[in-house]
Amino acid sequence: MSQGPLAGVRVIEVAGIGPGPFCAMMLADMGADVLRVDRTGAADLGLSIDPKFNVLGRGRRSVALDLKTAAAVAAMKRLIAGADALIEGFRPGVMERLGLGPEDCFAVNPRLVYGRMTGWGQDGPMATAAGHDINYIALSGVLHSIGRKGGAPVPPLNLVGDFGGGGMYLAFGVVCALLEARQSGRGQVVDAAMVDGAASLAAAVFGMRAMGMWNDERGDNILDSGAPWYDVYETQDGEHIAIGSIERRFYGELLRLTGLDGEPLPKQHDKARWDELRAKLTEVFKQKTRAEWCRIMEGTDVCFAPVLSLTEAPAHPHNRARGTFVEVAGVVQPGPAPRFSRTPGAIPRPPARAGEHTEEALRDWGFSAEDLSALRAQGALG
């Protein structure tokens, strides 16, 4: 039985892709009993890969229901009646057309937290348009700000929209609403939009821009590779290191450990001479390998780290010591985060095949053998 901080919380996940499963993974990692409801043709959701590689699907059981049948919709409402929360990631109106919109669900469970994950939000002129992470972070102003000076914007994988601004904000919203429901006895809708979440992640940057400390030119600011003391440098062996020596004391350490502290260099914040300072740092860092710079700088106050590949990161001594990465069903993947001192999160099971636990899970959620026979006869089960 799970002992994570969300142990005892029951969540229905209407299967989707990207940020919805990421939210469900976060909740399951923290001990929630998350039941994924897959459609009977789950391959349409991109789940035809070997399940063990579907890391976002870890930690929960799967039932397969054909929600185009009245019997399956009725079964869903039975599940919802015993749930604390539901999360879904369809375009606005889809769940309503299935007869499972918020009002339908509140009718059977007034305490339900109804989490909705979309790109554009539940309303607004673009609410029903298709999109992906890259589009949502573009509209939020974030994508414009990421990239080298003089170059085009660079998509930061799909971390900012799908996972940071999407799934993580949905998980936060669901837990907030669950806490409120314990006091009020009433559920509510959580409208998590990736464009909203991406904008929220950039709150500090918008603040700096309002202060005149940030401009709209890419690669010209202190945190976007504009500053030479906050950038990535190539080493002698073609690898890279990351430097983040923002504070004066840390910048002093950078100069000391590179041997530049006696050089006639530009002042740290003399922006007009940043290119000159960058050229000097580029020259110095090319004189040693990444491993040599690690021996000199790792663990110091330079604010230094080697730039590791996805293959290298799990093997780094710090990540190994903390157990940042774990292995589940032979697949190396990030472990649950954040950490809890008394009720640690865990991964209770590997990713499931669509419908793998249909009868087992439905029995645990209160369905009898007769109920299951009737659902099979009516074509509701996958």
Q: How far apart are CA 177 and CA 27, in angstroms?
A: 14
Q: Which residues pair with 381 in a beta bridge?
A: 65
Is 265:284 a contact under the CB 8 Å cutoff?
no
Listed in order, strand segments (DSSP E) in 41-80 are: 61-64
Q: How far apart are CA 336 and CA 214, in angstroms?
A: 35
Q: How far is C-alpha 207 from the geometric centre of its chain's CA atoms?
A: 24
In which element (H, E) is residue 33 found? Answer: strand 33-38
Give the torsion through C-alpha atoms of 276, 279, 283, 289, to 10 deg. 130
Which residue of the set 162, 196, 224, 231 is catalytic? Answer: 162
Q: Which residues pair with 348 in a beta bridge?
A: none
Is 2:34 a contact under the CB 8 Å cutoff?
no
* Cα dist from 354 to 49, 76, 368, 371, whole Å: 11, 16, 21, 20
Burial 311-336 (b: 16+ CB within 10 A, else e): eebbebeebeeeeeeeebeeeeeebb
Which residue of the set 132, 144, 240, 316 is catalytic? Answer: 132
Q: Active site includes 162?
A: yes
Q: Active site includes 318?
A: no
Question: For the sheet containing 240-244, what is the strand order?
Answer: 230-234, 240-244, 304-306
Degrees (nearest 5) of the Cα angle 300, 340, 306?
Answer: 25
Q: What DSSP designation does 352 have?
A: P
Q: How many CA atoms lie within 13 A of 330 on its CB side?
A: 4
Catalytic amino acids?
Answer: 132, 162
